[in-house]
Amino acid sequence: MHFNPYGGAAAQIAADLINHGDNADSATLTTIFKDRMTIAAVEDREATEINTWTTRLRKVFEADPTARVDLVNALLRDSASKPYISTHDGKAPHLHYVDAEAGTVPRVRAYTAGGLAHLVCDAPDRFGVCSREGCQTVYVDISRNGRRRFCSTRCATRVHVADHRTRQAS
């Protein structure tokens, strides 16, 4: 069984929201939530509110570890997160962060805030912004060794090749 203690799917959704930008349309947001949350579709007005929330999520990824606690506490406060264990639809017991009837926006807020809270508490150095200059992609590090600094192998390779060429030139 694969178990990801680093914020799980909620933290990954937060990263996906950020990486799609704060102008994601309702279709893009629906695709992000598909198969990971029980959200059938995102309406245009909900997309606007989720995009505003996404801006706040990015600040957590960009902040240094000491500032993250206050930022996530503000997200939790503003999302009115009230975790409880649910067993709906015959699924195994799992955590819900807000009432399922609360609507799309409150559910997204509570879920992503809860996921980032897990990251800040359990693995504060396992998420961030890509270290390649100019890349603003965020990531959640679920690697075995926990030493990820780049959003992708492509960005890591670019940096390592540039460093190698610099060393060879000198």
Q: Please write the tens of the pLDDT for every residue from 64-74.
A: 988 999 999 99
Percent of the residues in the chain that have a pLDDT greater than 90, as a whole number: 61
Q: What mean pLDDT do residues 50-77 have? A: 96
Cβ atoms < 10 Å from Cβ of 162: 12
Cα distance between residue 54 and residue 88, in whole Å: 28
Question: Which long-range CB contacts under 8 A does 22-27 form with residues at least 24 apart?
Answer: 22/51, 22/52, 22/54, 22/55, 22/58, 23/51, 24/50, 24/51, 24/54
Q: How confident is the model at residue 3 (pLDDT cuts 50, 70, 90)?
A: very low
For residue 114 the two structure tokens come to: 């809860």
- Position 80 pLDDT exceeds 60: yes
pLDDT attached to residue 4 = 55
Q: With contact defined as beta carbons under 8 Å apart, do 80 and 48 qualify?
A: no
| Topology of the domain comprising 8-129 | Jann2411-like fold (1.10.3300)
Instruction: For 88-147, write each residue's pLDDT tens digit.
Output: 888 888 888 888 788 999 999 999 999 999 999 988 889 999 999 999 999 999 888 888
pLDDT attached to residue 97 = 84
User: pTM for this structure?
Assistant: 0.87
